[in-house]
Structure 1
Amino acid sequence: MAGSPAHASTITERTLPRPEGMRHYMVVEPDRLARSNRPLVILLHGHGTNGAMMVGMDSFAGYRSLDWVRLAERERVLLIAPDGMKAGDGRTSWNDCRGDAPTNPTGDDVGFISDLINVAVNELGADPERVYVFGSSNGGGMAYRLGIELAPRLAAIGVQSALMPAQSHCRAPSRPMSVFVMHGTADRIVPYEGGKLGNWLLRGRGSGIGVDESVALWRRVDGLTELAGRYRIPHLQSSDPTFATRYIWGQDPARVQIELMRIEGGGHAPSSKADDLPWILRKLAGNMNHDVDAAEEAWIFFRDKRASNRQ
Structure 2
Amino acid sequence: MARSMFSTLCAGLKATFCGAGWRSAPRAPVVSESLMRPEGERHYLLALPSKTATGKRPLVVAMHGAGASAKQLFGMAFPPSPLSMWLEIAEREQVVVAAADAGKGGWNDCFAGAERVAKKDDVAFIGAIIDRAIAEHEVDSERVYVIGVSRGGLLAYRVATEIPHKLAAFSAVLACMPPPDRARMPEAALPALIFGCTCDPFFPYQGGKYFYTLGFLDSVASIEESAKIWRELAGLPDAPVVSNIAHRNSWDKTRTTYYLWGEGSDQMQIGLYKIERGGHAEPSCVQRYPYFINKLVGPQNADFEVAEAAWDFFKHKRSRRTETASLKETVEIVEQ
What TM-score do the two structures reach when normalised by structure 2? 0.83
Q: Distance in 2 between matches of 1:183 and 1:84?
A: 23
Name the structure 1 match of 2:99.
81
Q: 1:103 to 1:173 in 2, by over 3 A?
A: closer
Flag the structure with more relative contact order, 1 or 2, with Cα contacts below 8 A and sequence separation at least 6. 2
- CA–CA distance in structure 1, aligned partners of residues 129 and 288 of structure 2: 32
Does 1:285 find its partner at 2:304? no
Going by fraction, where is helix more abundant, 1 or 2? 2
State the percentage of identical aligned residues.
Answer: 37
Letter in 1 for 2:315: R
Q: CA deviation at 1:214?
A: 0.8
Deviation at residue 69 of structure 1 after TM alignment:
1.1
Question: Which residue matches 1:69?
Answer: 87
1:12-61, CA deviations, whole angstroms, 9 ceiling, x for partnerless residues? 0111000011000000012136254110100000011111111112223x
List aligned pairs for 1:47-126, cutoff 5 A. Answer: 47-60=66-79, 63-65=80-82, 66-87=84-105, 93-98=106-111, 107-126=120-139
Does residue 16 of structure 1 match 2:28? no
Q: Are 2:38 and 1:38 equivalent residues in the alignment?
A: no
Aligned with residue 278 of structure 2, among 266, 269, 280: 266
Of 203, 220, 229, which residue of structure 2 is paired with 1:217?
A: 229
Distance 1:103 1:115, change over 3 A: closer
- Aligned: 1:145 with 2:158: yes
- The C-alpha deviation readout for 1:185-224, integer Å capped at 9, x for no partner, is 1101111111126956x84221211011111111111111
Larger Rg: 2
User: Take 1:198 and 1:136, find their aligned partners in 2: how far apart are those partners?
Assistant: 22
Contact residue 145 and residue 168 of structure 2 kept, 8 A: yes
Q: Distance in 1 between matches of 2:176 and 2:274?
A: 13
Deviation at 1:260, TM superposition (A): 0.2
How much has 1:105 moved relative to structure 2? 9.8
Change (3 A) 1:98 1:282: same
The yes-or-no answer on 1:308 pairing with 2:323 is: no
Q: Distance in 1 between matches of 2:188 and 2:25?
A: 41
Greater per-residue strand proportion: 1
What aligned pairs does 1:227-242 form with structure 2 within 5 A after superposition?
Answer: 227-242=239-254
Letter of the aligned partner of 1:82 in structure 2?
A: A
Contact 2:108–2:116 (CA under 8 A) maintained in structure 1: no
User: 2:194 matched to which residue of 1?
Assistant: 181
How many pairs were matched up? 298
Aligned to 1:90: none
Provide the secondary structure at the position in 2 that maps to 1:245. strand
Residue 140 (structure 2) aligned to one of 123, 127, 141? 127
**TM-score, normalised via structure 1 length:** 0.89
Q: Which runs of 5+ in 2 are unaligned?
A: 1-23, 325-336
